[in-house]
Each structure stands twice: as C-alpha cells, then as structure tokens.
Amino acid sequence: LADHAHCEVKAATTALSLALKNHDHLEIVEALTALAKEELDHFARVVSFLKRRQLPLGRPPMDPYAARLRDLTKGLPPSPLGPAVDRLLVGALIEARSCERFKLLLEAWPAGEDPDLQTFYRELFECEARHYMQYREFAEQISGASPERLEARLHVIADAEARVVAELEDALPTATVHG
Ligand SMILES: [Fe+2]
Ligand SMILES: [Fe+2]
C-alpha cells in the first residue's frame, strides 16, 4: 500500500508535467489536469487504507525503474513523430503496466479477503485502462499520426521497457503497483 501510494503521487506529477509540456494544446492540458486530480484522489484513498491499518506511508522509495523510464527513449533511434509524442506514449505505457499489475493482484486475490480493498483495486484497474487510452489519444491528437504508426512506436518503446525490466529484475521490489 505504501509503495502504491507513492506511485499515485508519481502518476499525478507525471500528468502535470506532461500538461505543462503540452501547453500549446489547452484541451490536453485540461484533460491531463483532470487525470492528475484522479491520481491524487487515488493517493488520498490509499493513504486512508494505510491509516485504517495503522501502517506508515514512509518516504518515497528509490525507484530505479522510474528513473530508467524517464530516459527510456533517449537510447532509441529518434522517432519521426517527435519527442513530445514519445513522452505521451511512455505515459501510456506506464498506465498500461499499472493496469496489468492491478489485474494480476485481482487474479491472485484470496477469496473473501479485504473486500473493500479488492473493490478499490477493481475500480483502479478500469481507471488505469482508461488512462492508457487517454494518453494514446493525446499522442494521436498532437501528432495527427495514424493509430498504426503510434502503435508501431509504442511497440518500440515497450520493447525498450522490457529490456529495462530484465536488467533490473533483481533490483526491483516484488510488489510494485505503478511504474
Ligand atoms: Fe492511479
Ligand atoms: Fe493512472
């Protein structure tokens, strides 16, 4: 839960920083601001789960995965769609991974255990899936590129992320939720 809480803060700050980077597109700024608010609401709700369980939040953990993700596209051949699109596609990928982790958590959920938390995670699973789609749509809007071209670039980025995960396998905590 503590790790998850910090990840929600990261998701909110990522959305806000991308809102500012896309200042020429006010509709995207608005949508990313709303998305950041949602992530902050998730944070507040995870904190309330911690509080009810009398668990500490603690400081944000060292996160080599997030650090590597920030530089993920620097090592790739440059995209004709430009770095702004790459940043949004990395955002999409982070949301997709987050969604996948909730799916795994829900599949492994022991029957009858923590129904409130299970319901919350079901909601988050859907929410993160929607965020993934939204980031993809923002990338489409600013580039005007076809879904096929965006998909192709997303695959290149996802392959790079898979290499990062493989390299960090031993260093990563086993129970991270977001990126
Ligand atoms: Fe979230
Ligand atoms: Fe999200």
Residue 109 near residue 118, CB atoms below 8 Å = yes
Rounded distance from Cα 87 to ligand 2 centre (Å): 15
Rounded distance from Cα 67 to ligand 1 centre (Å): 19
- Does the pLDDT at position 37 exceed 90? yes
Rounded distance from Cα 142 to ligand 2 centre (Å): 20
Task: Specify the pLDDT at position 139.
Answer: 97
Ligand whose nearest atom lies closest to the CA of 131: 2
Could you tell me the pLDDT band of residue 145, with boundaries at 50, 70 and 90? very high
Task: Report residue 120 as tokens.
Answer: 């919350």
Q: Among 152, 174, 171, which residue's Cα sits nearest to residue 67? A: 171
Task: Specify the pLDDT at position 108.
Answer: 97
The mean pLDDT value for 111-123 works out to 96
Q: Which DSSP helix (H) or strand (E) runs through 90?
A: helix 83-107
Ligand whose nearest atom lies closest to the CA of 130: 2
Task: Report residue 155 as tokens.
Answer: 């695959």
Using one digit for the tens of pLDDT, what is the confidence trace for 52-69? Answer: 999 999 999 888 888 888
Q: How high does pLDDT run on average in the chain? A: 92
Helix pair 147-168, 83-107: axis angle to 10 deg: 60
Q: Please state which of the ranges 13-22, 72-81, 130-139 shows the lowest mean pLDDT.
A: 72-81
Q: What is the pTM of this model?
A: 0.90
Task: Specify the pLDDT at position 6.
Answer: 95
Task: Report residue 145 as tokens.
Answer: 């590129």
CA separation, residue 156 to residues 79, 105, 150, 162 (Å)? 10, 27, 10, 10
Rounded distance from Cα 148 to ligand 2 centre (Å): 23
CA separation, residue 50 to residues 46, 62, 142 (Å)? 6, 20, 39
What is the rounded CA–CA span in Å between residue 61 and residue 172? 11
Using one digit for the tens of pLDDT, what is the confidence trace for 76-111? Answer: 888 889 999 999 999 999 999 999 999 999 999 999
Residue labelled with tokens 């992530």:
39
Task: Specify the pLDDT at position 172.
Answer: 59
Using one digit for the tens of pLDDT, what is the confidence trace for 3-18? Answer: 999 999 999 999 999 9
Task: Specify the pLDDT at position 179.
Answer: 43
Contacts for 135 with CB less than 8 Å, ≥ 6 apart: 88, 89, 91, 92, 95
Please give all residues whose CB falls under 5 A of ion ligand 2, grouped by chain where several chains appear: 11, 95, 128, 131
Which position has the higher pLDDT, 173 or 169?
Answer: 169
